[in-house]
């Protein structure tokens, strides 16, 4: 049982590390203008139009780091700073959200929703375990939280699981001509893919907005 407790602590540390990395990257990228001068809205529209026949609606929705694609309604929801932004942060986030509209990668946004709903369930079970002084409930909640992180990590990894996949992704984004300079920032595109993992503890909020 102590192994579950240790794994839960490790899971929390992993989330904190990804949060730190994403927020620092966000700060750096916001300071760099996108030389294409395209807004996040325009970039999401260009990229999604190349990936699906049913182009999504793209709307502005308040909420920092809560940009996402709702596959059920075929809607991309972008925060103010991404929707209107003309910096590299806005551009890269818009690209990563638009990538989820890919008709051949429907599993990715579905899994995002699944893991997002696993997390509040784990919170409720953990709270119940604390209230009832029941270690079995407590650890069951820990297990659900840990599984949510593992599933989300594998989900994100499917987009860039090997060098060929990464090269294909880079070539596709470069062909869209929405980010400049591209070469200097192509690794940042991959790093920002971890946004869903960084926000996993509160991502369920997305589905109530």
The count of residues in the chain is: 209
What is residue 207's predicted lDDT score, i.e. its pLDDT?
Answer: 80
Which residues in the chain belong to E strands, given as ranges?
Answer: 57-60, 68-70, 75-78
What is residue 104's predicted lDDT score, i.e. its pLDDT?
Answer: 81
Q: What is residue 1's DSSP assignment?
A: -
CB-CB contact of 164 with 119 (8 Å) = no
What is residue 58's predicted lDDT score, i.e. its pLDDT?
Answer: 97
> In which residue are the tokens 């395209």 written?
38
Q: Residue 116: CB partners within 8 Å, gap ≥ 6?
A: 200, 203, 204, 206, 207
Q: Is the pTM above the cut of 0.75?
A: yes
Q: Report CA torsion sign: 80, 46, 181, 183.
A: positive
What is residue 159's predicted lDDT score, i.e. its pLDDT?
Answer: 79
Nearest to 197 by CA among 19, 7, 13, 77: 19
Phi, psi of 90 (to 5 degrees): -60, -45
Q: What's the CA gap between 102 and 117, in Å, rounded?
A: 22
What is residue 189's predicted lDDT score, i.e. its pLDDT?
Answer: 87
Domain boundaries, the chain: 2-208
Q: What's the CA gap between 115 and 209, in Å, rounded?
A: 17
How many of the other CB atoms lie within 10 Å of CB of 20? 11
Tell me: the pLDDT tens digits for 178-190? 999 998 888 888 8
Tell me: the pLDDT tens digits for 119-159? 999 999 999 999 999 999 999 999 999 999 999 999 988 87
What is residue 63's predicted lDDT score, i.e. its pLDDT?
Answer: 83
Kindly give the parts of the chain with pLDDT less than 50.
Answer: none
Helices (H), 132-192: 135-157, 163-176, 186-191
């Amino acid at each position: 049982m102590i192994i579950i407790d240790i794994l839960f602590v490790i899971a929390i540390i992993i989330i904190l590390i990804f949060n730190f990395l994403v927020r620092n990257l966000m700060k750096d990228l916001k300071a760099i203008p996108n030389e294409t001068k395209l807004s996040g809205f325009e970039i999401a529209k260009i990229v999604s139009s190349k990936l699906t026949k049913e182009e999504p609606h793209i709307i502005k929705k308040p909420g920092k780091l809560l940009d996402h694609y709702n596959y059920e309604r075929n809607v991309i929801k972008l925060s103010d700073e991404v929707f209107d932004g003309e910096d590299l942060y806005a551009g890269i986030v818009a690209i990563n959200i638009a990538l989820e509209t890919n008709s051949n990668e429907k599993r990715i946004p579905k899994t995002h929703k699944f893991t997002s709903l696993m997390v509040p369930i784990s919170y409720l079970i953990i709270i119940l375990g604390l209230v009832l002084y029941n270690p079995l409930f407590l650890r069951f909640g820990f297990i659900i939280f840990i599984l949510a992180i593992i599933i989300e990590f594998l989900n994100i990894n499917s987009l860039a699981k090997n060098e060929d996949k990464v090269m294909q992704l880079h070539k596709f984004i470069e062909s869209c001509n929405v980010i400049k300079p591209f070469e200097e920032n192509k690794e940042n595109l991959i790093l920002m893919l971890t946004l869903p993992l960084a926000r996993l503890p509160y991502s369920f909020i997305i589905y109530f907005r």
